[in-house]
Amino acid sequence: MSTPETSRYVRLHVELVLEITDPQELTEAALTRIATDDSMPDEERTHARLAVREDEAEALAYLVEPSELVGEVPGLELVQGSWSSEQIDHDPGTVEWDMDEEDLTEGDNEVVDTGNTGRPGGL
């Protein structure tokens, strides 16, 4: 319920850990996106191509558009957004990566666990 003292702005935190199963396919998809982006200046396009060929995390950053997560949600307007990607070490067996009910803070609604099936979860 909204009161005059309550802010209408909400910060949504999302953290995903993705497994790159085919680096070449990921890189090719990013290069295709860059090649077809008519709004990208040629100088930036050249830099982007080099970056995605050197780093899969950069390739991912060119493919994921966070505004698409909320773009069609009724009653919302995206005011500001940012995202980053980085390569990390991931050991799903460590406590650091174990998110369960004790890790939820007030306001958290759901934890989605894709399980350890050997296959990555979808985005």
Q: How many CB atoms lie within 10 A of CB 91?
A: 8
Tell me whether residue 67 is in a domain: yes
Tell me whether residue 13 is in a domain: no
Q: What is the pLDDT of residues 54-85, one digit of tens each?
A: 999 999 999 988 788 888 889 998 888 888 88
Q: What domain range is 48 assigned to?
A: 23-84
Distance CA 78, CA 80 (A): 6
Tell me whether residue 66 is in a domain: yes
Q: How many domains does the chain have?
A: 1
Tell me whether residue 58 is in a domain: yes
Q: What is the pLDDT of residues 11-59, one digit of tens each?
A: 888 888 899 999 999 999 999 999 999 999 999 999 999 999 999 999 9
Distance CA 56, CA 87 (A): 8
Distance linking the first and last C-alpha atoms of the chain: 31
